[in-house]
Amino acid sequence: MTIKLYNEVLRDLRSPKSLSEILPSVLILSKKIKDKELEKWTQLEMSGYVSANPAMTDEVVVPEYRTVPGQYHDIYGRPLIITDPKLQFVNEYRLRPGVPELDNLAKSSKLLTIQDPVRMELIKKNLKVEVHSFSFSSTSIIGILGAIRTGLINKIVSMAQTIEETSLSVGSKEHTIIHQAISNLHPSVQSVAAGLFLDGHYRQAILDTYILLVETIKTKSGRHELDGANLMQTIFSAKKPIIKISDDPDEQLGFMWMFSGAVMGIRNPKAHRLIQQKDPQRTLEWLSFASVLLRVLDDAEVIK
């Protein structure tokens, strides 16, 4: 039952389902495996970082990923202008509502406004000005929901060992492999490939990982109009790189060909034709190669 629920949560996280729909299953799973930390985090995200929530104890701080940029206004609608760079944090606010409310707020196309008497009193006391409300864009909430989903994916993937130790039927080869091997890969590989690998969808796990690799390179370089080998040979050029991996032209060229091979020899064939991939060990090796490239990319320098 525990493994089935675990697999369902992994599948839901890859689906269009909202976090509001997924978190109740996560709460049940955390209770079954007696993971008090995950249980408390889930309760806080579901019901909000508010005093009415029993999980909101004295030591709990609203997470930084719930921060939205915005601006305070006085009762007449005049904005509070902050010119001191050291005080720019005043124009930020950490949202406390639970995920269901955040889901609804994210659908709004208007500026959102909140009033926090405690925060307003602090501003009055320290800045000697009176403010009435804080306004921010609803699009900021989409980023918060994305951060919560990413954090949840990491928590669920890292839970594999606990599932293995507490479930009666967790002797499965898939869970052992995912704990021992995938948990050591680059976090991005874990987020897109762990669930697919666990379900035996090896071809899709490889394809999604290498699609992610390409999108990460596009994002870091800012060259979204390029793709495939042309993207790699432009971005990692030995003579005029946009992303520099090494000061040694030969090493830079070597990595250029490795990134080119990743799309020409791995991503493209699996994207353009149905290739059977049944070997979990070979799949892990392809995922490991992508993991190495992503870590190299993390350390590389973008040339402006």
Mean pLDDT of 22-35: 91
Residue 147 lies in a domain: no
CB 45 within 8 A of CB 23: yes
**What are phi and psi for residue 92, nearest 5 degrees?**
-130, 155
Last residue of a domain, one of 141, 157, 192: 141
Query: Do 190 and 251 sit in the same domain of this protein?
Result: yes
Q: Which residues of 44-56 are buried (b: 16+ CB within 10 A; e: fewer)?
A: bbbbbbeeebebb
Range of the domain at 258: 172-302
Query: Do 137 and 177 sit in the same domain of this protein?
Result: no
Question: 232: Cβ–Cβ under 8 A, 6 or more apart, which residues?
Answer: 217, 256, 259, 260, 262, 263
Query: Where residue 60 falls among pLDDT bands split at 50, 70, 90?
Result: very high
Query: Do 99 and 201 sit in the same domain of this protein?
Result: no
Helix axis angle for 187-198 and 2-13, nearest 10°, is 130
Query: Do 194 and 241 sit in the same domain of this protein?
Result: yes
Digit-coded pLDDT (tens) for 82-111:
877 787 788 889 999 999 999 999 988 888
Last residue of a domain, one of 124, 141, 158: 141
Mean pLDDT of 117-137: 90
The number of domains in the chain is 2
Position 242 scores a pLDDT of 94
Q: Is the pTM of this model over 0.75?
A: no
Query: Do 101 and 190 sit in the same domain of this protein?
Result: no
Any idea of the CA torsion for 286, 291, 297, 298, to the nearest 10 degrees?
A: 170
Question: 224: Cβ–Cβ under 8 A, 6 or more apart, which residues?
Answer: 218
Any idea of the CA torsion for 241, 243, 245, 248, to the nearest 10 degrees?
A: 10
Query: Do 137 and 176 sit in the same domain of this protein?
Result: no
Euclidean distance between CA atoms 2 and 35, whole angstroms = 13
Regarding beta strands 67-73 and 133-137, do their DSSP bridges make them parallel or antiparallel, or are they unpaired?
A: antiparallel
